[in-house]
Amino acid sequence: MNTQYGSDFTRKLWTDLDHILLVYVGSAAEFALVEENHWLFYTNKLPSAPLERLISTFAWNQKVMMTSSRDAETLAKTIRGFHDQVESERAREEGGHPQISNAAFRAVGAMLIEYAIRAEAYLEQREVNAVEKENYYFDQVGFFKAMGIDGWEESYQLFHENHAEELVSQLKVNTYTVEMFQSYRKDLGALRYSLLVQFMAWFVPESVREELKLKKSAWFKPLFYFYPKLHGWGLSKIVHRTLLPPSVLKGLRTK
């Protein structure tokens, strides 16, 4: 029997728009500190359309969680093929053997793992239990391994501990960090950008917030603590339509 990929908990996270958007909020902040973020500038995808580039990553991940176990492996190879093609194009243009490192792939995978769990804790106002964390971790890691991404720990707990150390030791402001945030502002507009930055400041781990020098504004605190109360209600859909570009809502399929 060809069963659906992943656990019920994993599919819950990736069929809910609020969860996906919070993964975007966290990843948009953290990826700006990844040393190899220059790859997105090479493709010219992120500077011209940062939302489109990052949301496309989540749309693919969401598609995986809605497919069969057999088809998930095919999707993994397809996604890796896209990256291999970019590497080949860059080699032809610039010479040498430029490659997206395993560490860079792993950094993005870590964001999809950690921020989805962080979003669940925030939106549902509860501690995500150990079984849910492990199930989600192995669902994601299984797919990443099918993509050829190695170096994953044997448990979520060990991964989480190592990743917390990596946030401090490896993520630093770099050549493209400021330019990336400028791209966010240009793509979102002033109002949406200010809300994004405040959500980042209140949502991401303290080490990421400090490295980016994000300041928590007092005016946003009530909004941040009130938003989970809207989760799952029709009013949240109105907020989505108000704050999100139509292209984002169209690009993410939710229940």
Question: Is pTM, for the whole model, over 0.75?
Answer: yes
Q: How far apart are CA 105 and CA 101, in angstroms?
A: 7
- Partnered with residue 68 across adjacent β-strands are 4
- Report the distance separating Cα 67 and Cα 89, nearest Å: 30
Q: Which residue has the tokens 């209140």?
A: 202
What lies within 8 Å, CB to CB, of 159 at 6+ separation is 110, 113, 137, 152, 153
pLDDT in tens, the chain (255 residues): 557 788 899 988 888 888 888 988 999 899 899 887 666 555 554 445 656 666 666 677 677 777 777 777 777 777 767 666 766 776 676 676 666 788 888 998 999 999 999 999 999 999 999 999 999 999 999 989 988 899 999 999 999 999 999 999 999 999 889 988 988 888 788 988 999 999 999 999 999 999 999 999 999 999 999 989 888 776 677 777 766 667 666 666 554
Task: Give the torsion through C-alpha atoms of 241, 242, 243, 245, to 10 deg.
Answer: 50
Beta bridge partners of 49: none
Those residues whose C-beta lies under 8 Å from the C-beta of residue 114, and which sit 6 or more positions away, are 26, 160, 163
